Amino acid sequence: MASTLIDTFEPKWNFNITGDDVTIESITPLKQGDNWRFVVKIAESKNLTSADAFVCSEKNILFSRNISNVLIPSLKETTSKNKWCSQTKGEGYNIFSEKTDKDIPKEFSFTLPISENSFKLMIGDNSTTVDASADNTALTYVSTNGICRTPNGMIHIAYEGGGADLWYGNSTDNGSTWSTVELAAGTFESVGIVCKSDNNLMIYYENSNDIDGRNSDDGGATWGSAFTIEDDINLVYFDEADCEADSNDKIHCVCYGDHDVFYLTSDAWDSSTDVQDDDSDDLDNCDLTIAEDDCVYISCIGVANDDLVVWSDCLNGWGNGKDIFIGDAANYGGRGGNELISTSIRNDTFYWTYGAFGSTYSCNATKDTISSASCSEVNSDYDQHAQIVSNTEGYSMLVYGQEPTIQLYSQNSTDGYTYDTINTFTTSCIRMNFVDHNYPTVGRPTDLFEYLCADNSGNLYFGNHTIPYTGDEEEEEEDSCTYSSGDHIYQCADNCNVDSVDHGGNNIIFNGTGSFNGSLDNYANLDIQGSNCYVSLWTG
């Protein structure tokens, strides 16, 4: 398993200082490993009596020290509450020992776990108070569909960073190096990205009570203005939208709120179909997937008395009462407010996973047996950020975690039914998602599971995980690939057939199998780097 740091953001700490026992010059937060270290500089401090020369915190300080060589009490970690802390806060921990006739130091530091996003300090009898809080939206967050591949080999990502701003990134070397750009500042959530077979892209995201989108018609080089996918829906849960492209580059989306599920397509944005509209039934999370035959499936959890259910235009269609029962979530932990449904479809086989009340569960079925799916508890210790991915040979992996621990665990299956022992998937992430789409076909995993993940410290990573793969299954060829500008590299998995294309002086590189039937003009170059390539050229 390999991972690469893509981007990093740090929380913005705010310090509200009141009182005049001491004059605080500055408070500097420093991120050190799994801890925050705060350096406090005091411009002026009064001679305080032994009864009130305290620095008190509402939370247990891990470590503190004097760094200005002023004589102060011995510094130690303590969990004992002193009278001053108790009288002032009711709860609290003393940073320095109780008895001293010395000044508060002019400079001292203390350390808290990285997971803490607030603290309070009280200094002196009349109490100079520091009320500190971190803007956690300044960290990095990835939603469930934040990464995809285009046929030209590029990896594309979309994510929230630096105050819930909208960011885009790409890699042209399989994730070794990355280019990132901020597309818009604001408060955006549920950010996802869709790759299309023509190498163009769509980013979608929650903006207030709307789901908006932005298109790129040049592979991510530039981005168009925002447009509305769906507006005025009651978005009360996380990851409220999910979109994918079919084999014809038509984009399909599901948007969902408190009681409603809406289905939309790029044929007519902001013109939705009600999948469910029932005020008596609430809803936690939905996932949209597209099978190899372009059938669209919407899976939701927390509906129909906490069942896991599926709608499809290829089965019962859309609308109240047309859902297909998959699993009784109430019998597998019930609603815990943590459910995140994840679905993978390979070779007409469905794989679902979700978390609830401390456990992770899985369900599976074929298209012919979808109404009698098999569901079971996979792990009884973790219930958050559950994701599932499967490759073209049916090898599947469940990944899940539990905040605030910055660690993800996985369990693997070779048949989609039984899962092996727990493995440590990564110790640096808590939220992640995979490259796992049927279209473009380059998004179908084979020997690698590629993923995007974020930790609780503002770091964003790309990684890949090697999986069993024989390569014996018959690979499906893509439709003819037509490009009109730019240098193009055809990877082995593309298996593109390029017919009669005027490339206007651009370079064509075959890195694997495929065929080129056409003309090269304006001094364009054709570079054969792979094997089993069929090339037909003519002049005229």
Written in H, E and C, the secondary structure of 123-177 is: ECCCCEEEEEEEEHHHCCECCCCCEEECCCCCEEEEEEECCCEEEEEEECCCCCC
Question: 195 and 107 in one domain?
Answer: no
- CA nearest neighbour of 5 among 455, 339, 433: 455
Q: Are residues 231 and 322 in the same domain?
A: yes
396 or 499: which carries more pLDDT confidence? 396
* 500 is a domain residue: yes
Q: What range defines the domain where residue 118 resides?
A: 13-136
Calculate what percentage of the chain has a pLDDT beyond 90.
Answer: 27
Residue 151: pLDDT band with limits 50, 70, 90: very high
CATH number at residue 255: 2.120.10.10
Shared domain check, 207 and 99 = no
Instruction: Out of 104, 120, 136, pick the residue that ends a domain.
Output: 136
Do residues 318 and 389 both lie within one domain?
Answer: yes
| 466 domain-assigned | no
Instruction: Examine the pLDDT at 300 and tell me if it is beyond 60.
Output: yes
Is residue 125 domain-shared with residue 239, that is, in the same domain? no
Q: Which of 95-99, 255-259, 447-451 has the highest mean pLDDT?
A: 447-451
d(CA 244, CA 508): 29
Is residue 260 one of the residues assigned to a domain?
Answer: yes
pLDDT over 70 (residue 339): no
How far apart are alpha carbons 108 and 420 in whole angstroms? 50
Q: What percent of the chain has pLDDT over 70?
A: 67
pLDDT tens digits, one per residue of 437-475: 999 999 999 999 999 998 877 789 999 999 989 886 554
3-state SS, 419-456, equals: CCCCEEEECCCCEEEECCCCCCHHHCCCCEEEEEEECC
391 falls within a domain: yes
C-alpha distances (whole Å) from 502 to each of 128, 319, 453, 505, 526 are 74, 47, 40, 9, 13
Average pLDDT over every residue of 1-27: 81
Number of structural domains (the chain) is 3
Out of 116, 136, 156, a domain closes at 136
List Cα–Cα distances, 187 to 97, 163, 191, 234, in angstroms.
Answer: 44, 7, 11, 17
Q: What are the tokens at 495?
A: 């298996």
The answer on pLDDT for 4 being more than 80 is: yes
Same domain, 117 and 209: no
Are residues 376 and 236 both part of a single domain? yes
Q: Is residue 456 part of a domain?
A: no
Residues 321 and 202 in one domain: yes
Mean pLDDT of the chain: 74
Same domain, 227 and 308: yes
**166 domain-assigned:** no
Q: How confident is the model at residue 293 (pLDDT cuts 50, 70, 90)?
A: very high
Whether residue 40 is predicted with pLDDT greater than 90 in this model: the reply is no
Q: Which pLDDT score is estimated for 88?
A: 42
* Domain-embedded: residue 64: yes
Question: Given a cut of 50, is residue 522 above it in pLDDT?
Answer: no
Same domain, 199 and 113: no
- What CATH number does residue 126 fall under? 2.60.40
The answer to whether residue 263 is domain-embedded is yes
